[in-house]
Structure 1
């Protein structure tokens, strides 16, 4: 693990590390914000943030303005990249497929299966590395994300509730098996068998696995230019079917971007802080 950048931030430190990933079969970077409590040797709660299409490990770090509230509450923030990278890694034909668009799943179709193992990277390799290298409180890790990363946060939380004790999302792709972004990605990464797609679809997972969390928080802008790709109503219906408490907040005038995230980031981190400290 190589430290490639570190900056003082709200009495803590924002860092970027580079590692050789076994899951991704290559070099990858992740960001981590360590509040002063962590730097002083205290165990802290932690949040994984999964970014959206075209983003990197730096996007949330720079644009979300999350460090101030994380510093106040003593929360570690972890920000992985959105896909494998490198000259030998398969590329897509557009920004919504391939590098920058890993969809947080394990690909099973070629040529993608060689490197696109983002699910295993997040929940096994990086999750274990963070616990080994930093002081994380037991049973106190949450996950959240935006758009493609909101899809990732919801699906990984539903599949691994023993690892993630809280979950929220900004404008998540809730039913990727039913929208153009997801259909394109899943047909390439997983092949044509749609039963495989449902293993990575938050609506389908909620209906099959049932209620797993005290609450789930989703914020959605009603001026979102990608609203038809997201289907929050379908996820709300799935939650109602299985009695999963959901806070779905819809906001007039807000679009899909990081000004929207900045506006509600404190609410999300406070939400996770409450969930993690009372679980």
Structure 2
């Protein structure tokens, strides 16, 4: 299974659906979906509703391996079921979609223009569970707001240090040092970031493989060296706050870069829509993101 999934991620056509909104971003995700905070009275009810929201997306006829290579899950989603199968098994067995898991514990406070990942002392235990649940890879996010060379190096060092722990557990890490799209020196941050990532990639052994999840670069095709690097399975792009239309336009100009969109994927979807309306809108969204990803 791992070999087949690896081949699909490396050479398949399509994009990754990011379905990993966590506790902090869940109320906003539900609100965008048309479920107001007064619709639930505690966290259990909130997570039930968000699982229903994700289940509707994953079980839609529009959500399939013709366009979607993989899906990133939240930890709770991994432990829940879709149509009587654990979510990762449902994705792979029923949809042909490769399952990933968000493993970070959120962002630390901003220091020197960046936000590192919070400490994650129970990561080994989580990776063990991820293997039991047939997860292929993981995702973890840091955030860069300013072009501070030393701070950006810290971000990349931390990402690869944790990445090696994930590789040792037999999983493929998606390394995500996001550059804030509103940063006043975004282009300079991207140059510093690329150099640090290349340095780390060149030090990996031939059996180590990673994926990268990056903001769409200011200069088109700026990440070409990363996309072509032998240690990189795939480079995917986050929408980072752009509308779907703007994100798709920018993505299409970057050859070999594919989408890993969350909010841009679910834009316009609502709990109140009929299945017919919902599926038609999702089908159109997926088609647009897919077309931007195969340029």
Q: Identify the TM-score tier after normalising by the shorter chain.
A: 0.3 to 0.5
Greater share of strand residues, 1 or 2?
1
Greater share of helix residues, 1 or 2?
2
Using structure 2 for the length normalisation, give the TM-score: 0.36
Using structure 1 for the length normalisation, give the TM-score: 0.38
